[in-house]
Structure 1
């Protein structure tokens, strides 16, 4: 079965105030993907999301605050035994 959303996108956001509930709702409403995990506190939040448009998640995160520790991995390449 082919991977539906090939980019595992992860980032940290420093900003205030941030809520995991608000971020989860906005990502679910605005972006296509799956495996969403959002966690943290009012000052630091981590987003993990599988999507085919990782740049959209990075732009969204940057709209909330400073982003860092950005990871975008191509899971289709990883599945094929290549560096993602």
Structure 2
């Protein structure tokens, strides 16, 4: 069984974005693992495994425009189904 079911990926486009601040907020406030937050002060790519992807989306949307959002159910993928 997978501990964190949803692979959540998106881009945040904004101004004065900080990889470190985003990383710190997500790891401190949203349960999950495998966090990647990379980019620059105008565009950040997020990758995170969690059971509450809506929390990631809500937080990231508060920082700027979010797009290229992908939320995949890894449990379904493990069972050979489309995520």
Report the TM-score, using the length of structure 2 for normalisation.
0.99
- 3-state SS of paired residue (1:64): coil
Q: Report the Cα distance in structure 2 between the residues aligned to 1:49 and 1:30, rounded to whole angstroms.
A: 13
Gaps of 5+ in 1: none
Is 1:25 aligned with 2:24? yes
- The TM-score, its normalising length taken from structure 1, stands at 0.97
**CA RMSD between the two structures:** 0.4
Q: CA deviation at 1:51?
A: 0.3
Residue 38 (structure 2) aligns with: 39
> What are the ranges of 5 or more consecutive residues in structure 2 without an aligned counterpart?
none
- Distance in 2 (CA, whole Å) between partners of 1:60 and 1:17 is 15
* Structure 1 moving runs of 4+ over 4 Å: none
How many residue pairs are counted as aligned between the two chains?
83
Deviation of the 1:83 alpha carbon: 0.1
